[in-house]
Chains A and B, each alone.
Chain A
Amino acid sequence: MSFWFWHGLRNGVRTTRYPRVLESAIGVSPGRPATTEFASADQAAAAAANCPTGAIVAAGNTARVVLRNCIHCQRCRFGFPHALAWQTDYEWTGVTNPEAFGPLPSAYRRSTHIMVVDAGDCGACLRELKQLNNPFYNMHRLGFFLTATPRAADVLLVVGPVSENMRGPLIKTYEAMPTPKRVIAVGTCAITGGVFGHTFMSAGGVASVLPVDLEIPGEPPPPLAILHGLLVATGRKPPVPQETMKERGA
């Protein structure tokens, strides 16, 4: 079966050069709406009223974007007269509590073990996490490894709004992890509950169950956004500036 070896070789190296060089291939990120200056206050108010999750806040002529609420419905982008500016970046990770947050100690920099808990995710965030193992992103080259046991984990990635039936397993997983540990909420559902909100079956985000250190907004955050979050957790990339976080309503 040596043809597999040649089949793999023939395809060449497909891996992104991120984080050394920013990746610019089309389609790696859906982008995000950006804070936009309108001609009149009415237009900004109309843009805010059009958003189903309150991710756009009008202040005078400006429509400010609260990224942690954005669910990528694109209703402010297409088919709407007062469309917002669109920015195709992916470094979105922010710190929830800047006074208390510090990255993992430097010993973890080149070998970080990651535990993923699916707490009611729609499948998109998990699929994007799976992409981190494919040749395009290949997170092993940066020293990130998935682990199947919380006893060996340093970082806990939680996806989904925390469904009632997953509340117990999630807390148990967190408690089984040794310190130092960091918790990252991946995706808008894990940050605010997203479209599922705070109901009798959904806790409305990880923060109501566990102390969350970092947030990666996006529905779903593309693989590079998750990679950026992991780099922030290990202190190899700076998080989004605090002013931007405040703008986001954190």
Chain B
Amino acid sequence: MPMTPFPLSTGNPPTLDQLAAVMQERFTSSVSVSRADGGIALSIPLLEPSLLPAVCRFLFWDLGCSWGGLIVEERATQWRLSYTFLATGTGWIEVLLEVPSGAGSVPSISSEVHAADWHEREAEDLFGLQFEGHPRLGDFILHDQVWPEGAAPHRKPQRKSVDAQQTHLRRRPNPEWRPLLVVQDPGSFAMPVGPVYEGGIGESLHFMLETVGEDVLRAVPRLFYKFRAVEKIAEGQTVAEALLLAERFAATSSFAHSMSFCSAIEKIGSLEVPNRATHLRVMLSELERLRHHAGTIADICQSTALAVAASQAAIIEEELLRTSCRFTGHRYLFGVNAPGGLQRDFDDASAGHLRLSVRQATQKLHLLEERLYFTSSFLDRLEDAGVVDPEKARDLNLLGPVGRASGQGHDLRRECPYNGYQSYDFEVPRESEGDGYARLRVLFQEAYQSERLISQAAERLEPGPICTPVQAGLSAGVALGWVEAPIGAALHWIRLDESGRVERYRAITPSFNNWLGFHVAVEDFAFQDFPIILATFGLSATECDR
């Protein structure tokens, strides 16, 4: 599909009124546009379900919005489907579709917005919703070899306790099940990798490498081995309990996810986060990004068997883990965020120590980067490995460092600011080659920007309160929280019921988005490059599976 330029992007980002006017003009009386709150700036309720693909195509391709995610909710008498998009510089837009419970089928938008593919497959597996016109539903989260057809564990009458469902008794392992193979040339065969592989230190996921010998023609990841139904477990929990889940389902970006969760709760409860807490949150989320990127760089060096560099990067990661532990009491920053601010305060001396340690770590990273760029055997492995061109990256809405290495990838800190990031001075590094080397350069540059942000935040720390506690309980409400996690945009959408308990919790993670695009990078490559491409993507299976 040709990409038409954003008609309003010539100068400043469009205002909400301009966007609303454009939508009204294009779709006349079929859509109504209204201002919404709870983090979503504009709501477009659809009166006619058949219009859905056209509206989504117009938003994604003609207005140049990025895809946020699909939020499915089962209400008393109807399905509520919210298709969220990000209009850069303006805010979140949702296309709202409400269909009666009996209908059980909605039009698919996957052929218009390719990035929505997995969101629809997920909804079909977990809710039993049918998406008309979707090319490939089924066998996604509930693997076909063990789950019977028709299981829809996220439906409302289903309970999450094991007695109510007796899941593993209902499972019927199917020995006849075979994966779908595409390459049918004579002499071709499929090489299964996973779910237990790489000495186990790799996460549980499965790849079917379709090959004719040395060259692998395509590799399709099969995920959700680690699916723990976090969204279902959270239902009926208090906010304090659900926060533990949000923090713990993906530990390498736990601070980002808990912050995104908390910001949704803060919108529901109209809590103002104190100044001191916003600056400390910037420090901690940038510390997490720095540590995450150091770990990914260590993995990349390891994948090319450059032992000394891998050790040096691992030393930096371990030192940052120790710094985190010294500062917050936990190596992975668990138990720091709270709705309304932070669980505890930090004294200025320890903030100064954090700043010093981070500066030392980035100096070591600089040295490492310099040496890596002079190591031709290392660069040979990364250059032209796993290329994702900018058009593909835009098509599949790749996020975070992976998207930015292909010239795409919005950065929410800049394009939809939260937590006072608009007042900070930093750059968003971008590359256009889209290969492994470009992704490595983006990782290094982002790490240095994180150091800048930590220094700025440390200078702005002023004495003051650390948390605005929830007064007199939370009431019913719905809100979207967003944070730029180390891997990309993390969206947490929450609906609370009258008693302040979670009614529906939806976590849209950057890894879920980016795994969809992974197959583009692994087409027609040499087998020995596979671990390198995997490492440069730096994706997390647990963040995707939830």
A interface residues (Cβ-Cβ under 8 A, vs B): 1, 3-5, 7-8, 11, 14, 25-31, 52, 71-75, 77-79, 115-124, 126-131, 133-136, 146-148, 150, 157, 160-161, 163-169, 173, 194-204, 219-220, 222
B297 shortest CB reach to chain A, Å: 13
Chain B's closest residue to A76 (CB) is B335
Contacts of A77 in B (CB 8 A): 329
The one of B202, B225, B344 that contacts A78, using a Cβ cutoff of 8 Å:
B344
Q: Given that A27-B324, A122-B249 are known contacts, is A3 also in contact with B374, CB under 8 Å in the complex? A: yes
Considering the complex, which residues of chain B in the window 238-286 have a beta carbon less than 8 Å from any beta carbon of chain A? 240-241, 244-245, 248-252, 254
Chain B's closest residue to A122 (CB) is B251
Contacts of A122 in B (CB 8 A): 248-251, 254, 542
**Interchain CB contact under 8 A, B244 and A71:** yes
B interface residues (Cβ-Cβ under 8 A, vs A): 143, 146, 153, 158, 160-162, 164-165, 167-168, 171, 173, 195-204, 224-230, 232-233, 240-241, 244-245, 248-252, 254, 295, 298, 306, 308-309, 311-312, 314-315, 317-318, 321-326, 329-332, 334-336, 338, 343-344, 367, 371, 374-377, 467, 540, 542-543, 545
**Interchain CB contact under 8 A, A220 and B314:** no
**Interchain CB contact under 8 A, B248 and A194:** yes
Residue of B202, B323, B325 contacting most chain A CB atoms (<10 Å):
B325
A204 to B167, CA, bound (A): 13
Contacts of A5 in B (CB 8 A): 308
Q: What are 6 A-B pairs with beta-carbon distances under 8 A?
A: A30-B331, A122-B254, A134-B311, A164-B227, A165-B227, A201-B232
A126 to B229, CA, bound (A): 20
**Interchain CB contact under 8 A, A197 and B233:** yes
Chain B's closest residue to A115 (CB) is B200
Contacts of B324 in A (CB 8 A): 27
The one of B165, B249, B343 that contacts A79, using a Cβ cutoff of 8 Å:
B343
The one of B233, B252, B314, B332 that contacts A196, using a Cβ cutoff of 8 Å:
B233
**Interchain CB contact under 8 A, A131 and B204:** no
Contacts of A134 in B (CB 8 A): 298, 311, 314-315, 317-318
Q: Given that A26-B322, A52-B244, A167-B168 are known contacts, is A148 also in contact with B199, CB under 8 Å in the complex? A: yes
Contacts of A219 in B (CB 8 A): 248, 334
The one of A78, A133, A195 that contacts B343, using a Cβ cutoff of 8 Å:
A78
**Interchain CB contact under 8 A, B308 and A7:** yes
A149 to B158, CA, bound (A): 39
**Interchain CB contact under 8 A, B315 and A135:** yes
A204 to B160, CA, bound (A): 13
A28 to B321, CA, bound (A): 8
Contacts of B244 in A (CB 8 A): 52, 71, 73, 195
**Interchain CB contact under 8 A, B308 and A200:** no
**Interchain CB contact under 8 A, A118 and B241:** no
Contacts of B315 in A (CB 8 A): 11, 14, 134-136
Residue of A118, A135, A147, A219 contacting most chain B CB atoms (<10 Å):
A118
Chain A's closest residue to B224 (CB) is A165
Chain A's closest residue to B243 (CB) is A73
Contacts of A123 in B (CB 8 A): 203, 250-252, 540, 542-543
Q: Given that A27-B326, A30-B330, A200-B160 are known contacts, is A4 also in contact with B375, CB under 8 Å in the complex? A: yes
Chain A's closest residue to B291 (CB) is A127
B164 shortest CB reach to chain A, Å: 8
**Interchain CB contact under 8 A, B251 and A127:** yes
A223 to B204, CA, bound (A): 21
**Interchain CB contact under 8 A, A148 and B161:** no
A136 to B322, CA, bound (A): 12
Chain B's closest residue to A188 (CB) is B248
Contacts of B467 in A (CB 8 A): 79
A14 shortest CB reach to chain B, Å: 6
The one of A7, A131, A147 that contacts B321, using a Cβ cutoff of 8 Å:
A131
A8 to B164, CA, bound (A): 57
Q: Given that A25-B322, A129-B201 are known contacts, is A74 also in contact with B167, CB under 8 Å in the complex? A: no
B103 shortest CB reach to chain A, Å: 26
**Interchain CB contact under 8 A, B197 and A220:** no
A142 to B367, CA, bound (A): 31
Chain B's closest residue to A160 (CB) is B226
A120 to B226, CA, bound (A): 4
**Interchain CB contact under 8 A, B233 and A148:** no
A157 to B196, CA, bound (A): 12
Contacts of A161 in B (CB 8 A): 228
**Interchain CB contact under 8 A, B331 and A148:** no
A73 to B248, CA, bound (A): 10
Chain B's closest residue to A193 (CB) is B228
**Interchain CB contact under 8 A, A199 and B232:** yes
A1 to B343, CA, bound (A): 48
**Interchain CB contact under 8 A, B226 and A72:** no
**Interchain CB contact under 8 A, A127 and B173:** no
Q: Given that A1-B377, A7-B312 are known contacts, is A166 also in contact with B204, CB under 8 Å in the complex? A: yes
**Interchain CB contact under 8 A, B229 and A200:** yes
**Interchain CB contact under 8 A, A199 and B161:** yes
**Interchain CB contact under 8 A, B334 and A196:** no
A8 to B332, CA, bound (A): 27
A75 to B321, CA, bound (A): 21
Contacts of B200 in A (CB 8 A): 115-118, 146, 148, 157
B410 shortest CB reach to chain A, Å: 24
Contacts of B542 in A (CB 8 A): 120-123
Query: Which 10 pairs show the lowest CB-CB distances between chains A and B?
Result: A27-B322, A116-B200, A124-B251, A78-B344, A134-B314, A74-B335, A27-B325, A201-B229, A146-B199, A200-B167
Contacts of A167 in B (CB 8 A): 168
Q: Given that A195-B248, A196-B233 are known contacts, is A74 also in contact with B329, CB under 8 Å in the complex? A: yes
